[in-house]
Amino acid sequence: MARHAETAQKLRIDEQAATRYIGIAILALIIWRVITVGLAEGYPTSFWISQALNGMVLGGVYALVALGYTLVYGILFMINFAHGEVMMLGGIAGFFALQFAQGQGWMEGPWLVVVVALLFIMLIGMVTSVLIGMTLERLAYRPLRQAPRLVPLISAIGASLFLQYSVLLIFGVSPHSYRKPALISGGLRLGNVFIPYTGAIIFITSVLLMLALYFIIQRTKLGRAMRAVAEDRSTAALMGVDVDAVIVVTFMLGSALAGAAGVMLGFHNTVVKFNSGFMPGLKAFTAAVLGGIGNIPGAMFGALVLGLIEAIGPSALGIPTEYKDVIAFTLLVLILIFRPSGLFGEVLSEKKA
């Protein structure tokens, strides 16, 4: 018996070492590729800076969506795979709000009117997403609270498909295009680097929303209750915390951020359609895993890293930009193999996924 245990232990250590060596080899390959191909192309510095800025904008949007995944996971230990669709519906609602605002002539008004109109559009998107998120929790997840973990996951995938194809059925295949008001359609030119206004606005808004979320989680009574529920649901209930209410609020917060992201992505990509939430949703999930799912600063950091890698990666590796999704999902696979708890993850090891 003792011999067997010893051998098993030794095998495990060998396996760990092997995984590490493979990881190092992959890393070395990537670095070699970057040096021999990416840097050899001789792009100017301003090109890299522009790409990095694009990456930061993308990262900001991913972060908003990733926070929704991580918040819900932190409390319920489930991945809300319909979260991308919650974002998409925020974008759709934002589109109609924008149309309404254009109909009223607000978008051609003085700048103050335009700003207020943009805030109004964002608010409509957020409110819509919040309502969808609450409905999802109530109908698709809460009845399955006591079920094995895989069950709500399947329910989430079902909800995701249901929302996508409902939108397809109601609004059609053709994309709804966001028309940017003149006020935010230009950009700043700093030397050879061009920063579109929408990009700057998206990044700043994302950061502000994240700061607001961080404040709520760390400094308010509600946030304290959320953290308590995340750690130990039944003890939190003993303190007088209405756990169901906290879970609903968690969905509301995550959905509000997703709604904002949906509207901003609409302005950034200029279109939104039934499957607009799918890819960003998966990317944001990747970002959340990268940072360590359940970890809030991790989600923000992971999203920023993913955005940067996606923007810089194709040029650095000397592959076509269309393959940026390949890079993102290869990264997901690599994290899951080499560091499943993510860059900041202690939650997984502590509470077992």
Partner 1 sequence: MLTLETIHTFYDHIHALKGVSLTVNEGEIVTLIGSNGAGKTTTLNTISGVLSARAGAIYLHSQGNEIFAGETPASPGSRRPGDVRGESVRIEQRNDARRMGGCAVRLDQLPAHAIAKLGVSQSPEGRKIFSRLSVRENLEMGAFARTDTAGIRRDFARVLELFPRLSERLSQPGGTLSGGEQQMLAIGRSLMSRPRILLLDEPSMGLAPILAQQIFQIIREINAQGTTILLVEQNAQAALQVAHRGYVLETGRIVLSGDSQSLLADPQVAEAYLGI
Contact residues for partner 1 (CB under 8 A)?
221, 224-225, 227-228, 231-232, 234-243
Work out how close the CB of 74 gets to partner 1 at its nearest, in angstroms, rounded to a whole number.
Answer: 11
Nearer to partner 1, 202 or 241 (CB): 241
Nearer to partner 1, 166 or 220 (CB): 220
Structure tokens at 59: 């990262």
Nearer to partner 1, 44 or 240 (CB): 240
Nearer to partner 1, 72 or 229 (CB): 229
Angle between helices 243-269 and 83-103 (to 10 degrees): 60
Work out how close the CB of 297 gets to partner 1 at its nearest, in angstroms, rounded to a whole number.
Answer: 13
Q: Collapsing DSSP states into helix, strand and coil, what is residue 334?
A: helix
DSSP single-letter state for residue 35: I
Q: With beta carbons less than 8 A apart as the criterion, state whether 293 and 347 touch.
A: yes
Give 177's strand partners.
Answer: 271
Structure tokens at 31: 């670095």
Task: For residue 136, give every residue at least 6 positions away whose Cβ sits within 8 Å of its Cβ, in sequence order, or none.
Answer: 80, 82, 86, 159, 251
Work out how close the CB of 319 gets to partner 1 at its nearest, in angstroms, rounded to a whole number.
Answer: 42
Distance of CA 265 to the CA centre of its chain: 12
Nearer to partner 1, 33 or 227 (CB): 227
Give the integer Cα–Cα distance in Å for 353 and 343.
16
